[in-house]
Structure 1
């Protein structure tokens, strides 16, 4: 672990602040086995990115209306050795279908949740990415907390503001195109089959299942495309 990374050595109070939970709630979830045991060094215990990722997933599942038993069942299916990035992928698959439930946070609360001091430039980057929106009250923001981790990750790699604006444009343009084409596909090839089979009463459930499946397929296609680009670069060299 790296001493310079503050997320590697979190106290239970710091972990609770990062995920917007009380210390009591974090300890309750730890007692239920929803997060691994903390790392012990003498009389002190420390939490890291794995605990952070799993608790953020718990919050996402709660926002979807999962019961505690359902959350436990969901997490049991995630391998114990899954990396924080792999756990975060589950949040990525869930977040697009979560109703808009932004949190209103002060700048101080946002800093605690992000685990970083945030300059005005950093806030501008978050706004460009759609992670935050200003409110009429100074230093109070409407925050898409499900995507805050993504914003922090891009901040940590030093993403320029211009690149953030361009990335958002790319996501919006291509996301709209994919949504339109998949909606057309559903209406043209899936809905007639549902009507013919007499399952129209279950149409809403089918649509809700269709959404995350398409996101999973997009993630897989993106990963495969990136891998192919890497292989092509190697072949050229």
Structure 2
């Protein structure tokens, strides 16, 4: 990462290391460790005092987001190396926005009794197996401890009452996973090449850009739902037409 000087945005760099520590909620020792690993650029020097600005804050926020996603320090270094040294705080904020989970709630770790209390019903081993097949519950190395997508737990419980074959649920899950990954990859490319440059060039602050992107998410999901509904309708009509043929 390139050396910073008094020419690199001196008017924007106004925080001492103690003030930066209070601003981002990290210890001075941690900040200096990150700086030594090149995760943030050197401070802007004015005499013997170093000052930090929006770029440092944006990069530290991104480091925290990457840590929350389970990235190791080496992986974080590799990720940040791909971000140009002259990236603006807005550019860095967009990187962070792409990492924001699209689910409203992150998974919770629940043991079996807590899962039973949360669902409000007794859960047999077959019920647990079905919830795992649905992707609502994921097993962990600890027996009877699970990662639970609580935002979808009530839907999973409703599906238990349908008495669906587990192999059918698993087959459907594979379809959604395979096609969902393809849709996600293509939408990410659209975001990277079309949405990102538009928001970046708008010149808005990182918070404004993140709000715009957050609004983009539900619109995209709704579009996917509508496309699926149309596709199901067309498939049904095609099936009826084929059956009517002699």
Aligned to 1:226: 232
Q: Which residue of structure 2 aligns with residue 199 of structure 1?
A: 204
Give the equivalent residue in structure 2 for 1:98: 104
- Aligned residues of 2:105 and 2:150 also touching (Cα < 8 A): no
- Find 2:155's aligned residue among 139, 142, 150: 150
Q: Compared with structure 1, are the counterparts of its residues 101 and 143 closer, same or farther at alpha carbon in structure 2 (3 Å cutoff)?
A: closer
Deviations 1:176-216 (A, max 9, x none): 21111111111211222223332363221221111111001
Q: Residues of 2 paired with 1:111 and 1:196: CA distance?
A: 50
Structure with max Cα Rg: 2
Matched, 1:177 2:197: no
Aligned partner of residue 194 in structure 2, secondary structure = helix
Any unmatched runs of 5+ in structure 1?
Answer: 1-94
Corresponding residue of 1:49: none
SS in structure 1 of the partner of residue 189 of structure 2: helix
Partner of 1:141: 146
TM-superposition CA deviations, 1:69-113 (whole Å, max 9, x none): xxxxxxxxxxxxxxxxxxxxxxxxxx9432414151434x43454
Task: State the alpha-carbon separation in 2 of the partners of residues 172 and 229 from structure 1.
Answer: 20
Instruction: Give the corresponding residue for 1:37.
Output: none
**Hey, what does 2:4 align to over in structure 1?**
none
Identify, as 1 or 2, the structure richer in helix: 1
Matched, 1:124 2:141: no
| TM-score normalized by the length of structure 2 | 0.50
Structure 1 length-normalised TM: 0.51
Counterpart residue number, 1:164: 169
Shift of 1:165: 2.1
The one-character-per-residue Cα deviations of 1:92-143 (angstroms, maximum 9, x if unpaired) are xxx9432414151434x43454354432122111112222233555444332
How many residues are treated as equivalent by the alignment? 142
